[in-house]
Amino acid sequence: MPGVSSALRRLIAARLALERINERFLCQTAAGRSSAVAVPTAALTPQLCLECQELATRVLLDLDATPCGAAAELRVVRKRLVARANALLDAVQAATRQL
């Protein structure tokens, strides 16, 4: 199924992109990588927050454009990634308000 493998590749790329954003702009929580988002680092600036928001928004747009068809497992993965990206955006917006 070429459509499923393409969707899976896009979902993996989105997951990796979210991890890079999280690692770059937020420090890891005590719970480790299983956490959706972590707390802001001391070096967080408004410019970095804006960049993080833009990158996470791009990931969300890519997830929206990823067709999963009838593959229920892929839809679940996409839903979790969307929730993770939204949680990251919420954390960055909260950090931005505290700057």
Question: Domain limits of the chain?
Answer: 2-98
Q: Does domain 2-98 have CATH number 2.30.42.10?
A: no
pLDDT band at 32 (very low <50, low <70, confident <90, very high): very low
Quick one: pLDDT at residue 98? 81
**End-to-end alpha carbon distance in the chain:** 48
Residues of the chain with pLDDT > 90, as a percent, come to 49
pLDDT band at 90 (very low <50, low <70, confident <90, very high): very high
* Mean pLDDT, the chain, whole residue set: 83
pLDDT band at 26 (very low <50, low <70, confident <90, very high): low
With a CB cutoff of 8 Å and minimum separation 6, the contacts of 89 are 53, 56, 57, 60
pLDDT band at 2 (very low <50, low <70, confident <90, very high): low
d(CA 61, CA 49) in angstroms, rounded, equals 18
Amino acid at 55: L
Q: Which residue has the higher pLDDT, 54 or 98?
A: 54
With a CB cutoff of 8 Å and minimum separation 6, the contacts of 78 are 11, 63, 66, 68
